[in-house]
Structures are given as C-alpha cells and as structure tokens.
Amino acid sequence: HHIISDGWSLGILIDEMAELYRSVVNGEAPNLPELNIQYADYAAWQRKWMEGPVFEHQLNYWRENLRSVPVLELPTDRPRPPIMTFNGSFEPVKIGRGLTTKLNALSRDQGVTLFMTLLTSFYALLNRYTGQTDICVGTPVANRARPEFENLIGCFVNSLALRVDLENDPRFVDLLLQVQDVTLSGYNHQDLPFERLVDSLGVARDKSHTPLFQVMFTLQNAANTLDMRMPSVDVEMLPSVAKTSKFDITLNLEEGSDGLEGMIEYNTDLFDRETIHRMVGHLERVLETVAEHPHLRISELPMLSDAEYRLILDEWNHQPQIYEYKDSVHSRFEKSVIQYGDRTAVKIGSESLTYNQLNAKANQLAHYLREKGVEANQLVGISLDRSIDMVVSILGVLKAGGAYVPVDPTNPQERIQFILEDAGVALLITHSAVQGSIPAGHYEPVLLDELSDELSHRPTDNLPNISGEDNRAYVIYTSGTTGKPKGVLIPHSNVIRLFTATDQWYGFNEKDIWTVFHSFAFDFSVWELWGALFFGGQAVIVPSIVAKSTEDFYQLVCEEGVTVLNQTPSAFTQFIRFDEYSREDKPDLAQQLKLRYVVFGGEALDFAALQQWNEHHGLEQPQLINMYGITETTVHVTYHRVTEKDLAQRQSLIGRPIPDLDFYILDINMNPVPVGVPGEIHVGGQGLSHGYLNRPELTDERFVPNKFGVELERDKGLYDRLYRTGDVGRLLLNGVVEYLGRIDDQVKIRGYRIELGEIESTISHCSGVRETVVLAREDSPGDRRLVAYLLMDNEEVELSDIKDQVKKSLPDYMVPKAYVCLPEFPLTPNGKIDKRALPIPGDENVAKQAYVAPRNDTEETLTEIWQEVLHLEKVGVTDNFFDLGGHSLLATQVVSRVREHFNVELALSALFEEPTIENIALHLLQAELESTDDMEMADLLAEIEGLSEEDLKNL
C-alpha cells in the first residue's frame, strides 16, 4: 500500500510479504524493520532519476528493443477470455542433482550463468510449443544495483522483458550466447520501471493478456546468476500462491543442495493441470538433452517421453486397418444396378433415371468412347452443367476405361484452356449449349445432344472391364501457389475404400436420398454421387440456380425427403436461417425435413453456430458430423460426430482419422509433437492421391517419404508417402484432433480452396502492376472476402483494365472483391510486408460508379438493406450488388430482409439478373401494383414520381 500510494507500482516486495505472511500464519509479530523511510528514500531517488539523462537513454533502449512484440500464443486448453483473470495454480518442477550439476558444467563451459542456460531452455520449449520465433519472456530483477540502497532490506522488484529471435532454428549454444547478450544488456538498462515502459510504448492495453510478455522466468538463490537473488518463498507455506497466477505461466526455479526445485505457476482459465504436468516433462527432456548435446538445433530437441511417443504414434496416429479396396468405381456401380435396377438412381427436377436406365445410357456412351479409342487410364474431359448427362458422362468415361477431368463450363476461357491442355485430353464431352464458352483446342468435342441419336444405337450392356483398382478414376484441379492450378490424380481404389472404411459410422443404404449439391469440379461431389449410387440410394442433382438460393435449396431438401446432406459450414449457416424462418412461416414444408446425416466439410466448422439448430432438432436426427479432408487424400480424412458438449466451446474439432489412414501431427523435422501442441497434419495410407498430374517436383515436395515406415499391402513407392497438408492441428487428451488453421497462404472462402499466391501471380502479370498482395479479410464476422493491394508502376494505369484481366483469368470465387492501390506497403521491423497493417478497404475502392442517391421510399429502404448487408456506408441505386462485394449468401440475406420490410417474396433470380437497387425497386413496385386497389394507387403514384420516364414505361 505504501509503495503504490507513493506513486509507484514497482512490483511486489516479496521478502516482506513472505515475512508478513509467515508471521501471520505462525501468530508472531512480523519482523519488519523501519521500512517507510527507506522506501521513501528509494522513491525519491527514483523520481530524481527519472528526470535525468539516463532515464531517457534507457527508455530509448527499451523502445528500440521491444517494438511490436507479438503476443506469445501458447496452445491453451481453453480459449483466452477477453478479460484476463489471475486464477492460478502450480505444478512442481524438480530437476535432480545429477542433471543440475551437468547444467552448471555446461554453463561454465559456455561462459554463461545457470540462469541463462535455464532461460535458454525455456525459450526453446516456448518456441517448440508455439512455433513462434520472436519470443519475449519476463524476468524479475532485484533493483539493488544502486550502492546507496545496498543495505535495503528486501528488494524492489522490477521486470525486464527479454526478447530473443529464434528465426532460422539456431543451435542451442548459439541461442545461449544470444540470451547472454540480451540478458546482460537488459541488466544494464534495468532501472526503468516496467510500468513506465509499458505506458511509453503505448502497447495496446488488450485486457486479455499481460503487456509485452505473457510468461515469466525466475531463478532464486542461485549463486552464479548475476545478482539474481530473489527472496525465497516456501510454496508449501503459502497456499495463497496456488490460487493466483500473474502471467499465463511462470517458471520459478530455485537452486538448492538437491538440485533445482520449483514450480510452474499457471493460469487455470487457460490450462489444465495435466497440460502443465506434461509441459514440465517436456522441459525436463529438453534440459536433459541440452546438457549432453548443446550443439543440437532447437527444432531437434526431443520433448516426448517414450510412453507419450508410443501413445501418439501407435495408438492415435497409425491406423493399421486395411479395408476392401479392390474394385473399380463403375463395377461397384454395376453391382448396385444388379441389386436395385428399378429404383431411381438420379433425378433433377422432373427428370429421372432408374439404375437400369442410367447404366444403359452410360454403357452406350462408353461403347462410343471405346470406338473413339479411349483406353485404360486415358484422361477424358467433361464440361457440362449439372445434369443427368453429367452423371452419364462420368460413368461412361469410367466404363470405357478412362478417367474424367471435370471442367466447370462457367470458368473463364483461359482457365478452361489451361486445364484441358495441362491434362492433355483428346476428347471433351460437352453439350452444344455450353460449347460456345469453351475455347477450341487440341481435343475433339463429343456433343452429347447432337450425338444422342447415334448413341441410342449403341449396345446398352456392360463393357468388359479394362481398369483395375490402381487405374486413374479422376483428376480434379485445385488452386496452385505458382499461379496455375494443379491436377490431383485419384485412382479407383481410393474411392472404393473411402466408402468401406466409413461404413461403420454411416451404414448408408438404398433408402438414402442424397443431394449432389457441389460442383463436379470439387471432390465433395465424389462423396455425394457414389454415396448414393454405391448403396442403391438416390442422387438428387441440385441445379446451379437452386444451389445459389438457400430458399430454393431448403425447399428441395424438404420436398425430396433428402436424408444425407453435405454442406460447407457457411452454406449450412444459411440453411439454418431458412429452417428457422420456415418453421414459423411454412411449417408444412419444414415438417417434411427427413435428414439422417448432415456432413460438414471443406472449411473450419464453428460449433457455436449450430446452437440454434440443436435447440430445435437435437443432435440425433439428424446426426451432425464434421469431416476434415483434402482433395489429395480423396475427400475425407477424419470423422467427428458433434456432441452437445462441443457446442459450448469454440474449438473446431475434426475428430479421428478414418481407420485406414495414417494421421500424424509433426513438427518441421517430421517428429510427432506432444499432445496439445500444434503441428502440421500429415496424412498417409489408402486414401492418398497418386500425386499431381505432370508435376513430379511438386509431387515430391508435398508427398514426402513416410519415415514411420508403415507397411502397406501394396508396396508401390507412392503409397508409402505422407501428404503434407499445410493444415495445423493438435491432438487433445482424448485423441480427438482440433483444427487450428494453415501454415501457408492457402485460404478457404465458403469452402472454395484458394491459393492467394495464384491470385497474386495473376494480378502481377497485368501490365502496370509493380507488386501485389492479396488477403482474405473478414472485417465483419461471417463475411470473408478477397482484397487485393496494389503498387502501380505509374498513375496512368487503369484499375478497371486490371480487374477485367483478372476476371478473364480466374473463376469468380477467386476474383478479389476489392482493390486498394497504395503508394507503398507497410513493412515489419524486419522489412517484410506487414500484412496486418494493410488497410481495410474503404467504400471508395469498391463503389466505382457515379453515385446515384435513392429517389423514393422503396429505394431508400433498399439502400439501407444493402448497406447493412454489404457493410458499406454509402451505396448508390445504380451500383451493382456483386461488384460491391455481394455474393449468393449475402443475396439471400437481401431477400429475407426484403421479405421483412416489404412483405414481398423477391425472387433471388431477380437479384442475380439485375443486381441494382433501381431494378429491385421496380420489381417491388410491380409486385405491389399487382396486388393493390385504387385507394392505394394514389400513394403509389406519388412514390413513382421520382422515377425516370423510361422506368415508368417499363413499369
């Protein structure tokens, strides 16, 4: 109280507090000498010091050294609360005499103190836990360097923030020297009160963590530290210590005759005891290793105990199961035909085919393709809208022995051309209606509509099978970092085993009705299509216009009695909204919902968003399942059934691997990381792709040798590899995996996989662009969008030319929604582009057309709706919804708000066809006119007054 009231918060006078506590506990009078005078003297001295030149010098030193220190993101058991608490506990640490002696010897050899050796090991541990290389640790310093206060009882404690750089994975001995350096120069500038430093650095006072550093290290009573004596606190005697934690964690050690002893004090809001217990084990392991091998690099220091290693590797990672895989996709389908011939196989709108009919049509096409020379493994392009013909074509190609390359006809010509050339297809199955949007090339078009007569004369019986399970089934193209998409090769067996290996969880059957919601150019469609057709179920193809409208899609799911629904979490969020609305307004429709399973995939699932759904539907009927997967590993990798408990927390759980896949979470040296610690997900086993088409180097880079030596039945080189996913995850205590994000610049927007590098490379090739950075920003929750930042060569360059060029090269979902031209990029202290400092795009960068203000109440209201939905401040009535960053999910929001405000059902297609406020207002007025009487007519006319003559004519 005295110190603080004196205007100082210097820290804690631990000696005195300990003495006070001891005396209170023992019922004695505290033995506190005349403190007041001394403290007052000290405070006075310090005040004077702060006016002197040394103060300025020290302040500059720390300012320079602690510029933009990142927060240390330790992997916590629970998310960090927005306001930090100091609830704490501790876990003992004991380092035996033998090891302590070795550590002392090492310190002597290296010419450093034991304090520095221990602190260096602590940095190593923190680096391995966080992957961060710029780490700041606090340490208390007894501020007694002033001779005049030499005999002051107790000590004034100040904190030093010691920041080291672990970039480039230093050797332990080199890090040790760095720590020595940083510590010594820290001591030389130790007088500046920490609080003062924090104030002057203007460190954002984020209340979720302590400023500058979140972890602390102390070593007490060690003779060979540089004046680092700290008062000793007997932990046993101070039960109150156990209840608080000043920092996320504090490593307190004390050297005694038995070695080093102490504890890790930790914040119990963030960590469980078991986690800290394991951390203590890892620290010990690190200390043991560096004592013997101080020349190892930090990444090379083992942390796991043997037991932990076996648990993680053998029990959780390696899945020895082998499931049935020896079949081809089409022959598996043909088995369904035998069993379920007369059941409906595919359906779109009012059109449908039974298994027999679908098989017959596919056979006719396959016969034709064989005549055209298609042989085993040959790639055949398919470019069709969603249709029954699309399914016939896929089957036709497979039956002919080939593998299909799906090409979305709505892609820009440049991209279509690239894919067809890269895959080297000789035949492209398409339709005369879409042929116009496909560039001519070195392939022969197979026009299904024009050929239909000819095809109908081909035999309808199954062809002799010429493809084995190792043959290619499909090649799906996915975004590539270097600017061009890459083709992922998947053999038949991968698809077969996907369904045998997951059958234990699902038990799909002939009564199941599936939607084929996803484009056949993405592999979620592989799951949707064969999930229906391998089991005798029905595949309901969702036309693209329906897929774009949640409302129409919801209706379809209800009316068709769909039982298995596969969705990206962002699409399902919209689905939930519609479900809410329909249960109110269209109960008859909502009652028809018959879902058995909702399977999530493609992007991280936010469990909290399912709360509302759970309230009305529970988690049994349907079951909600999160599946994590990658095109390169054949659709799915893990399975997690959502439970009630999951909904309460914010972790994105992806569960456990499918039992025939190996799943390792590894550090940069390909060693398993401890439980709870993030690492890169690696996948091996029967789902692995055969690599990228015509890209051997890239294949070797991503499909690396499996050093865990899993013996698979098939001893083909490629199978014994691990796919480096670039995804970051960690194992939780129960063996469930939590998804944490990416280590690179790949992003997901509404489930679309996008390499930002591909967009950057495309923009960079536009003339006039000097440099560019593309980010996926989420400035308002739930609305992720791509933003391009540009440095131009000169001012004459027209942004619109660049935009046009980009639109011509990239599919819609990869086109940036906003462009921001900057004079230069903000840089980090190390001279890299500081992406976090790039500005939020302002309205001026998106709305490029001349602004036209609303002219009547309808337009006024619509403008408000658009501004809300698009998060823009000013929208003109002639601005294009999609140019302003709108997309189909936001469009459905417009539709539902229009419903609320006007009580009119705006067709989503109206918004797609004429995406301006002006036009929507006309639609609404028209709707109103149709349902109005004469009395209201006068009001309406008054409203119409604001419109132009031409608009009125249209009306």
Residues in touch with ligand AMP (CB under 6 A): 478, 600-605, 626-631, 652, 654, 725, 727, 739, 748, 753
Exposure string for 399-423, b = 16+ CB within 10 A, e = fewer: bbbbbbbbbbbebbeebbbbbbebb
Instruction: Quickly tell me which residue has 């950075």 as its tokens.
Output: 773
Q: Least distance in Å: CB of 895 to Mg ion?
A: 28
849 C-beta neighbours (distance < 10 Å), count? 12
Nearer to Mg ion, 639 or 881 (CB): 639
The number of residues making up the chain comes to: 955
Nearer to Mg ion, 383 or 567 (CB): 567
Q: Least distance in Å: CB of 680 to Mg ion?
A: 18
Cα 374 to chain centroid distance, Å, stands at 41
Q: Least distance in Å: CB of 516 to Mg ion?
A: 15
Please give the single-letter amino acid code of residue 359.
N
Q: Least distance in Å: CB of 861 to ligand AMP?
A: 38
Nearer to Mg ion, 402 or 629 (CB): 629
Q: Which of ligand AMP, Mg ion, none lies near 604, with the C-beta cut-off 5 to 8 A by kind? A: ligand AMP
Q: Least distance in Å: CB of 246 to Mg ion?
A: 44
Please say whether the dihedral angle defined by the alpha carbons of residues 275, 276, 277 and 279, taken in this order, is positive or negative.
positive
> Which residues make Cβ contacts (< 8 Å) with residue 382, sequence separation at least 6?
390, 393, 394, 397, 404, 405, 406, 407, 428, 429, 430, 520
What CA–CA distances, in Å, run from 573 to 187, 378, 786? 55, 40, 20
Q: Least distance in Å: CB of 633 to ligand AMP?
A: 8
Instruction: Quickly tell me which residue has 């098939």 as its tokens.
Output: 714
Nearer to Mg ion, 160 or 526 (CB): 526
Q: Which of ligand AMP, Mg ion, none lies near 762, with the C-beta cut-off 5 to 8 A by kind? A: none
Structure tokens at 708: 């865990």
φ, ψ (nearest 5 deg) of residue 298: -55, -40
Nearer to ligand AMP, 554 or 628 (CB): 628
Q: Least distance in Å: CB of 447 to Mg ion?
A: 31
The number of residues that bind Mg ion (CB under 5 A) is 1
Nearer to ligand AMP, 590 or 654 (CB): 654
Give the span between the Cα atoms of 86 and 812, in whole angstroms.
49
Nearer to Mg ion, 193 or 629 (CB): 629
Nearer to ligand AMP, 90 or 739 (CB): 739
**Which class for 248: exposed (0-12), middle (13-18), buried (19 or more C-beta within 10 A)?**
buried
Q: Which of ligand AMP, Mg ion, none lies near 385, with the C-beta cut-off 5 to 8 A by kind? A: none
Q: Which of Mg ion, ligand AMP, none lies near 628, with the C-beta cut-off 5 to 8 A by kind? A: ligand AMP
Q: Least distance in Å: CB of 630 to Mg ion?
A: 6
Indicate the Cα dihedral angle 921, 926, 932, 936, nearest 10°: 50
Instruction: Quickly tell me which residue has 């990444």 as its tokens.
Output: 299
Q: Least distance in Å: CB of 558 to ligand AMP?
A: 25
Peptide bond into 622 cis (omega under 30): yes
Q: Which of ligand AMP, Mg ion, none lies near 654, with the C-beta cut-off 5 to 8 A by kind? A: ligand AMP
Nearer to Mg ion, 682 or 855 (CB): 682
Nearer to ligand AMP, 379 or 627 (CB): 627
- SS3 of 339, please? helix
Structure tokens at 186: 């820290």
Nearer to Mg ion, 378 or 479 (CB): 479
Give the span between the Cα atoms of 327 and 39, in whole angstroms.
84
Q: Which of Mg ion, ligand AMP, none lies near 21, with the C-beta cut-off 5 to 8 A by kind? A: none
Structure tokens at 666: 């590894």
Site for Mg ion in 595-634 (CB under 5 A): 629
Nearer to ligand AMP, 78 or 750 (CB): 750
Are 419 and 396 in contact, with CB atoms under 8 Å apart?
no
Nearer to ligand AMP, 745 or 760 (CB): 745
Site for Mg ion in 206-235 (CB under 5 A): none
Q: Least distance in Å: CB of 634 to ligand AMP?
A: 10
Structure tokens at 81: 């609360």
Q: Least distance in Å: CB of 638 to Mg ion?
A: 12
Give the span between the Cα atoms of 68 and 76, in whole angstroms.
23
717 C-beta neighbours (distance < 10 Å), count? 8
Structure tokens at 278: 């394991």
What CA–CA distances, in Å, run from 354 to 155, 299, 325, 331, 337? 87, 58, 26, 17, 9
Q: Least distance in Å: CB of 637 to ligand AMP?
A: 8
Give the span between the Cα atoms of 950 and 465, in whole angstroms.
64
Q: Least distance in Å: CB of 653 to Mg ion?
A: 17
Q: Least distance in Å: CB of 448 to ligand AMP?
A: 28
Give the span between the Cα atoms of 472 and 863, in whole angstroms.
52
- SS3 of 472, please? strand
- SS3 of 557, please? helix
Nearer to ligand AMP, 213 or 575 (CB): 575
Q: Which of ligand AMP, Mg ion, none lies near 478, with the C-beta cut-off 5 to 8 A by kind? A: ligand AMP
| 11 torsion bin: left (phi>0), alpha (psi -120 to 50), beta (else) | left
**Which class for 83: exposed (0-12), middle (13-18), buried (19 or more C-beta within 10 A)?**
exposed
Give the span between the Cα atoms of 399 and 20, in whole angstroms.
86
Q: Which of ligand AMP, Mg ion, none lies near 727, with the C-beta cut-off 5 to 8 A by kind? A: ligand AMP
Q: Least distance in Å: CB of 487 to ligand AMP?
A: 13
Q: Least distance in Å: CB of 491 to ligand AMP?
A: 17
Site for Mg ion in 69-108 (CB under 5 A): none
Give the span between the Cα atoms of 569 and 555, in whole angstroms.
19
Q: Which of Mg ion, ligand AMP, none lies near 557, with the C-beta cut-off 5 to 8 A by kind? A: none
Nearer to Mg ion, 260 or 599 (CB): 599
Q: Which of Mg ion, ligand AMP, none lies near 739, with the C-beta cut-off 5 to 8 A by kind? A: ligand AMP
Nearer to ligand AMP, 15 or 727 (CB): 727
Structure tokens at 308: 């932990």
Q: Least distance in Å: CB of 526 to Mg ion?
A: 9
444-447/427-430 β-pairing: parallel
- SS3 of 222, please? coil
What CA–CA distances, in Å, run from 78 to 275, 642, 734? 11, 18, 15
Q: Which of Mg ion, ligand AMP, none lies near 170, with the C-beta cut-off 5 to 8 A by kind? A: none
Largest CA distance in the chain: 110
What CA–CA distances, in Å, run from 792 to 771, 819, 951? 7, 12, 40
Nearer to ligand AMP, 756 or 790 (CB): 756
- Residue ranges that bind Mg ion, judged by CB under 5 A: 629
